[in-house]
Amino acid sequence: MSLPNREFDAIMAEYEELRRFHKSQLDEKLRKIYEAHPSILENRIAANENAAERARAAIRKDADAIARLSDERDALEAERQELLADAGLTEEDFLPVYTCPACRDTGYVDGKKCRCFKRREREVLYRDSHLESVLEEENFGTLRTDLYDRTSPDGSPSQYERMLEVIEICHSFAENFDYEHKNLLFYGQTGVGKTFLTNCIAKALLDSGHSVLYFSAISLFDLFSESLSRSANKTAENPLFALYEADLVIIDDLGTELKNSFTTGQLFHLINERLLLKKSTIISTNLLLNDLGEQYTERTASRILSCYEPILLTGADLRIKMKLEREQ
């Protein structure tokens, strides 16, 4: 679980603002109550004085005074209940209101993140993933295995059978994410569902509170180029910083970008650094494995081929299949 520090701080600041807001609401409400019912205020001041005197008597161990003051406290309390009833008020009118009563707008219950914190965290993670809208439609719940071809003319596993295995790999990648450092390389022609599968994994991980960053190779290489013009320090202001920080980085459609020696160097650095940090990366590409070395560098290809699980997706273009289905 890792919300970037600055995001964590931002959420905590939201809670502080919320508490400040409710406190000012309460102050205003109490001011109005005391203005309308001065006797309730007088009773409260007397009760406060009584409490202070009782504390002093306790220090002196003055049993007589403690007994007298305790009686007085009970009388004041009884008077308060009468005054409240006359004014049509209850004790609840004097309590602060919380947006989340469970954690009293602190974000934590017994040292653990409150449900409201987790919800907010998920919103932030989704927003930062660059995937917010697409994941509603592309996730394990909407994955359609009926689109896969079940025929197998030469006796080898059908596309359907092969895809069930792949889906299982994706599920287990997401489920064991915290225990197992794994990287995936989806390769195969266009339209066989590479992006869809990475989206399924992305949603499962976002929902379990992980930070996921999606980049098409084109936008990633744009970011690499941009970073050249900025100071290349590893601080939160550097746009590349998040790439090293995220729990999962997805690079979609590698091979479609425009590259030069600087940006391919940056790709190597990213892939290598994330391996050293034991952070997972998923790459999808239309390239053949043999082409990786030619298109990038041998050392990039060798890192990918030795540290990523290659998953070949084959079969007919599912997008065309779905389009035909819609037209029928």
Contacts with Zn ion by CB under 5 A lie at 100, 102-103, 114, 116
Distance CA 188, CA 316 (A): 11
Distance CA 297, CA 293 (A): 5
Give, as one character, the DSSP assignment of residue 209: T
Residue 203, token pair as written in the block: 């949603």
Asked whether 239 and 230 are in contact (CB, 8 A), the reply is: yes
Nearer to Zn ion, 103 or 131 (CB): 103
Nearer to Zn ion, 116 or 270 (CB): 116
Asked whether 126 and 139 are in contact (CB, 8 A), the reply is: no
Distance CA 187, CA 166 (A): 12
CA triple 271-275-280, angle to 5 deg: 85
Closest contact distance (angstroms) between CB of 90 and Zn ion is 24
**Amino acid identity, position 250:** I
Closest contact distance (angstroms) between CB of 21 and Zn ion is 15
CA 179 to chain centre: 19
Closest contact distance (angstroms) between CB of 100 and Zn ion is 3
Nearer to Zn ion, 22 or 68 (CB): 22
Distance CA 10, CA 123 (A): 13
Nearer to Zn ion, 102 or 320 (CB): 102
Closest contact distance (angstroms) between CB of 287 and Zn ion is 47
Question: How far is the first Cα of the chain from the last one, in angstroms, to the nearest whole number?
Answer: 45
The residues, ordered by sequence, that sit 6+ positions from 164 with a Cβ below 8 Å of its Cβ are 145
Nearer to Zn ion, 116 or 275 (CB): 116
Closest contact distance (angstroms) between CB of 116 and Zn ion is 3
Closest contact distance (angstroms) between CB of 104 and Zn ion is 8
Task: Report the half-sphere exposure of 157 (CA within 13 A, side-chain side).
Answer: 11
Nearer to Zn ion, 14 or 72 (CB): 14
Give, as one character, the DSSP assignment of residue 145: G
Nearer to Zn ion, 76 or 100 (CB): 100
Closest contact distance (angstroms) between CB of 18 and Zn ion is 10
